[in-house]
Amino acid sequence: MRKIILPIGFAMLAITACKTEKKETQQFLTVANMDSTVKPTDNFYMFVNGKWFKNTVIPGTESGTGAFLDIYNRTKDNLKTIFTDLAKAPQKDGSIEQQVADFYASGMDSAAIEKLGYEPVKPYLKKIDAIADAKGVMQFIAESSTEGSNFIFGLQIGADEKNSAMNLPSFYQGGLGLPDRDYYFKNDPATLAIISAYQTYLTKLFTLTGTDAATAAKNIEAVYNLEKQIAAAHLTNVELRDPQTNYNKMAVTALDKSMPNIGWMSLLTGMKIKSDSLNIGQPKHFANINALLTATSIDTWKLYLKAHLLNEVSAALSSDFVNANFDYAGKALGGKKQLKPRWERIISATDGNLSEALGQLYVKKYFTEDAKKRMLELINNLQKAFEARISKLDWMGEATKQKSKDKLHTFLKKIGFPDKWKDYSKVKINKNQYFNNLVECSKNEYNFQASKVGKPVDRTEWGMTPSTVNAYYNPTFNEIVFPAGILQFPFFDLNADDAINYGGIGMVIGHEMTHGFDDQGAQYDKDGNMQNWWTKDDESKFKEKGKAVIDLYNTFTMLDSLHVKGALTVGENIADIGGIAIAYEAFKMTKQGQDTTKIDGFTPDQRFFISYAQIWRNKQKDESIRQRINTDPHSPPMYRVLAPLMNFEPFYKAFNVKEGDKMYVAPEKRIKIW
């Protein structure tokens, strides 16, 4: 299966943490956002964020807004300044400054891109036209993979989940244009509108490349029907959450015999991968593809490849392609009203393609060693708090407690940016060739990944760029990772009191730590190997508690009747419930945590919980909410606050929650896991 990375939540590209300058007037609790007409014991989320929610208008370029977007908006002008400064003078050829500056310049050269139209993709379309049989389909897919394209499958080269010291290629299901397999089998009005927008988008792509409208419509009907057949064999999002089900290590020779139409030996040769075994995440999908390769006409396969190729590259072509892509991905799926300005889009593209080259320039200017030291202090304190909580668990036996502590103390801690940067010396960036620059970067990244096959795992690697506003836990590395991007207010500020930092970034730290012990992470040992280290009795009790989490979140709704999917979000929900508890216990170890002195009219404990609620300040378009409910393993932000607090005794004491209040849950029904 694809390497599991368990992030905190919403991500923004090309964001960095700013150096903090002390501001005497700074208020770390935004009192103006609070709604005193809402009882904190009825809806704490709206008590903290209610006025902000009522007064905030989502920008036309966004599908939502909130704390994450605030961080982006606070830094995007600085990001633009970096590129502007680089452009003022020629940079040394081959340097990361030259690569970053020229990549950005090539993307900003809209006149050249408009003039080219879809010329850059014509050679690929010509190759598709030349395909004569199923073998040719797979040959094209193999060659395209080396340039970063994914048509019918995804590829992840990373730690073998049962031998985490060695790298292994993992293939997993793919091949769909809609966000999730379930979209192909629903007939509610909202889903049908998405399907219609998707088909309109693909039809537009064909007409833009010279196909008449009537023929294009027929083409898309064939493409969509093939996608639906592919979707029928896909596992659901919930099924994809089970690491055991999605780990199927197989010999290449056996795969070659059982799936001759795919031709695994030839496929791997074309993909420059030398391995005698693979992890096939979802065998049913690949067996289905093997059958469809001969059951479906080659003409349909060629139309399918063209549609997916054009979709993949549309954002890099002329404006008519970009606008067609936005009408579907931006408007229909996200509810956005207008395209982001070009400079923002190209900054994101630069971050995605030259991530650690750009990252070096970012952290040099915007991240401090003081922030890194403070973060390490927070992490260590939460680690102590987590150990203390494990020791006091009343449902777990001593043997499993000791294994849990061993895993906890083996966490690899990564803060800010990598200790070792990726090498981009082989990437040739031309400031006049944007599309070719994208291809160059994709080839370089693919070659880097392919070179890892059969070699020992390098645990210094990062799965996010330094500028990303997010954090993650990776079970095969047993690591917790906090990029520079998230280390700024409201999550973190060097000048903030402990209540703010522990309620903000402290909760994030606790969340990622708990991922090591959620329903997925708990299946990996301290070395990152997927194996059972639980006693039978403790495992049974743990699963019962997980079921209670699923049942609770299933009761929550958005947009009146759209239910949160408890089984899809259970891992993130366990991490939220554990994260706030661990962060609070660590906060109580600090001087302020043991004090009662009020600031802004709130006690230290109240400030801690308010800080927690304000980091999840978020308002989303209805279209975005629907998509996230269907596909996002995170619960909606409001319930990421309400549900953990409904089950947490210190919150009851801090705000005097009593029976009859909407957030009240009887003590015997409150969920406590970690």
Distances (CA, A) of 14 to 174, 222, 365, 634: 27, 38, 14, 22
Kindly state the tokens that stand for 7.
């992030």
What pLDDT score was predicted for residue 425?
95
What digits encode the pLDDT tens for the residues 180-210? Answer: 999 999 999 999 999 999 999 999 999 999 9
Question: With contact defined as beta carbons under 8 Å apart, do 58 and 621 qualify?
Answer: yes
Q: Provide the residue range defining the domain that includes 371.
A: 6-17+27-56+367-420+460-669
**258 and 397: one domain?**
no
- Single residue among 246, 279, 299 that ends a domain in this structure: 299
User: How far is it, in rounded angstroms, from Cα 208 to Cα 219?
Assistant: 14
Do 288 and 382 have their domain in common? no
Listed residue (299, 329, 296) closest to 312, CA to CA: 329
524 secondary structure, DSSP code: B
Q: By C-alpha distance, which of 300, 129, 132, 119 is closest to 209? A: 119
Query: Does 112 reside within a domain?
Result: no
How many Cβ atoms sit within 10 Å of the Cβ of residue 214?
Answer: 9
92 pLDDT above the threshold of 60? yes
Instruction: Please check whether residues 39 and 169 belong to one and the same domain.
Output: no
Rounded alpha-carbon distances, angstroms, from residue 275 to 149, 278, 290, 459: 20, 7, 20, 21
How many independent structural domains does the chain possess?
2
Are 591 and 487 members of one domain? yes
Sheet holding 249-251, edge to edge: 153-160, 163-173, 277-280, 249-251
- Name residue 167's beta-bridge partners: 159
Is residue 267 assigned to a domain?
yes
Residue 346 has pLDDT above 60, yes or no: yes
pLDDT in the model for residue 2: 43
* CATH number, position 396: 3.40.390.10
Is 3's pLDDT higher than 60?
A: no
Q: Does 519 lie in the same domain as 660? A: yes
Verify that 400 and 281 share a domain, yes or no.
Answer: no
**What's the Cα-to-Cα distance from 99 to each of 106, 152, 315, 427, 593, rounded to whole Å?**
10, 32, 21, 8, 48
Average pLDDT estimate for 109-129: 98
**Neighbour tally for 641: CB within 10 Å:** 27
pLDDT at 80: 81
Distance CA 21, CA 430 (A): 38
Q: List the 412-416 sheet strands across, edge first.
A: 6-7, 472-474, 479-483, 412-416
- Find the mean pLDDT for residues 446-461: 97
Name the domain boundary from 299, 318, 344: 299
560 and 646 fall within a common domain: yes
Residues 292 and 389 in one domain: no
Let me know if residue 342 belongs to a domain.
no
Q: Is residue 485 located within the same domain as residue 613? A: yes
Residue 563 has a pLDDT of: 97
Each residue's pLDDT tens digit, 579-592: 999 999 999 999 99
Rounded Cα gap, residues 615 and 471, in angstroms: 14
Average pLDDT over residues 374-393: 98
Closest residue by Cα to residue 411 from 501, 517, 488, 484: 517
Give the model's pLDDT for residue 189: 96
Q: Per the domain annotation, does 98 fall within a domain?
A: no
Residue 522 falls inside a structural domain: yes
Average pLDDT over residues 610-632: 97
3-state DSSP call for residue 548? helix
In angstroms, the CA 653 to CA 637 distance is: 23
For every residue of 177-229, DSSP letters joined together read SSSSGGGGG--SHHHHHHHHHHHHHHHHHHHHTT--HHHHHHHHHHHHHHHHH
Averaged pLDDT score across all residues of the chain: 95
- Residues 615-638: b if buried by 16+ CB within 10 A, e if exposed: bbbbbbbebbbbbbbbebbbbbbb
What percent of the chain stands above pLDDT 90? 93
| pLDDT for res 78 | 76
Domain contains 147:
yes
What is the average pLDDT across 219-230?
A: 98
Q: Which of 243, 272, 299 is the last residue of a domain?
A: 299
Same-domain check for residues 171 and 258: yes
Type of residue found at 419: D
DSSP 8-state class, residue 15: -
199 in a domain, yes or no? yes
Mean pLDDT for 417-434 is 96
The residue among 6 and 615 whose pLDDT is bigger is 615
Tell me the CATH number at 249. Answer: 1.10.1380.10
Q: Specify if 49 maps to a domain.
A: yes
Question: Distance of CA 606 to CAs 18, 112, 502, Å?
Answer: 27, 56, 12
